Amino acid sequence: MADIHYPPDFVTGLQMQWGTGFLSSGGPAEVAEILDTVDVSGKSVLDIGCGVGGPAMVIAKDLGAADVVGIDIEKYLIETAQNNVSAAGLDDRVSMKLVEEGPLPFPDERFDIVFSKDSLIHVPDKSALYKEVLRVLRPGGEFAASDWLRGDDAEDLDGYKEWRSLAVLDFRMQTPAETETEMRNAGLTGIRTNNRSDWYAGIVAQEVAMMRGDEWRESFVNAFGEEAYEKKLAVRIANGRAAACGGLQPTHLIGRK
Ligand SMILES: C[S@@+](CC[C@H](N)C(=O)[O-])C[C@H]1O[C@@H](n2cnc3c(N)ncnc32)[C@H](O)[C@@H]1O
C-alpha cells in the first residue's frame, strides 16, 4: 500500500483553501483552462491523481464528458472522492478507482482524453507514465495536464530554495525541456507547454490574503491550532515567491496520440 502523504487533517485544510473537492489552486476555472483547446463533450476521460474528485466532477458536470474515471494511490482520497461524487449525484458518469503506482490498470485505447491536475509532480518515473498515457489513449486522443515544473536555474534562486526547504510533500521536479523530451519519447505529438507562473503567483497572493482574513484564520485555528496556521501560511507565501521568481513553474502540458 502507498505511503500516506494526504492524511485527513491535511486534506481538510487544503479543501478550506481551495474548495470542496480540490487539493490544488484555481478551482473549476483552471480545470477548464487546462482543457481549453480540447473538446471534452461526450468523451471518455481519465483523471490521473484525482485527489478528492473536484476536477473530475467539473469535467463531467461543467464540460460535459460522457464518463470520467479518476485514479489515485491513496485510499482515503478515493473514498472521499467517491463520497463527493455521490453527493453531487454524478455516480452515473464519474467513478473513482484506487490504483498502485506503475502501469495503468486499463486496456489499450480505453480513453479519448487523459487529464491530470498538479499530480504528476509526485510520480517518480514520469517517462514510464507518459508511455502508459499513450497506451490508454485511442488514436487521435488528447493529453491535457498541469504539472509543477522547475526553471533551469531554480537551484540558484533563493525563492525556490526557501520553498523547497519548507514544503512537506515529496516533489519530483523537472524542467520544461526534460518534460517535453519525455513526452516526445513516449510518442506524444503536437506537444505544447503553457507556463502559468504569473497566473499562479497572482492566485497565491489572493489565497494568502484570504488566509490572513479574520474569518478564514479563525476557522483554521479552531480546527488545527495556531502553530499549524502559521506554518501553512509560511509555506503558502514561500510557494508564491517560488513561482514569482521562476523557480517553480506551474505549466500546462498538451499532446496528442
Ligand atoms: C496536489 S494533489 C491534486 C489532486 C487533484 N488533481 C486536484 O487538483 O484536486 C496530488 C494528487 O496526486 C496523487 N498522486 C500521487 N502520486 C500518484 C501516482 N503515482 N498516481 C496517481 N496519483 C498520484 C496524490 O495522492 C494526490 O491526490
Cα three-residue angle 43-47-50, rounded to 5 degrees: 145
In a domain, residue 130? The reply is: yes
159 and 241 Cβ atoms separated by less than 8 Å: yes
pLDDT at 1 over 70: no
Pocket test for ligand 1, best of 11, 72, 80 (most atoms within 8 A of CB): 72
The set of residues, in sequence order, having a beta carbon less than 8 Å from that of 37 and lying 6+ positions away, is: 144, 254
Domain count, the chain: 1
Phi, psi of 27 (to 5 degrees): 60, -160
Residue 157 forms part of a structural domain: no
pLDDT tens-digit readout, 7-23: 899 899 999 999 999 99
Residue 195 inside a domain? The answer is yes
- Would you state the pLDDT for residue 171? 81
Joined together, the cell numbers standing for residue 213 give 482574513
Cα(24) to ligand 1 centroid in Å equals: 10
**Residue 140: which H helix or E strand, with range?**
strand 137-150
The pTM assigned to this predicted structure is 0.97
In this structure, is residue 243 part of a structural domain? no
| Rg of the Cα atoms in the chain | 18
Give 212-230 pLDDT, tens digit per residue. 999 999 999 999 999 999 9
Mean pLDDT computed over every residue of the chain = 95
Q: Does residue 58 fall inside a structural domain? A: yes
Is 216 among the domain residues? no
Residue 22 located in a structural domain: yes
Domain interval for residue 57:
8-147+172-204+249-256
Percent of the chain with pLDDT over 90: 92
- The model's pLDDT over 96-135, given as tens digits with 9 standing for 90+, comes to 999 999 999 999 999 999 999 999 999 989 999 999 999 9
Q: Is residue 200 part of a domain?
A: yes
pLDDT the model gives residue 158: 95
CATH of the domain at 100: 3.40.50.150
Q: From ligand 1's centre to the CA of 19, what distance in Å?
A: 16
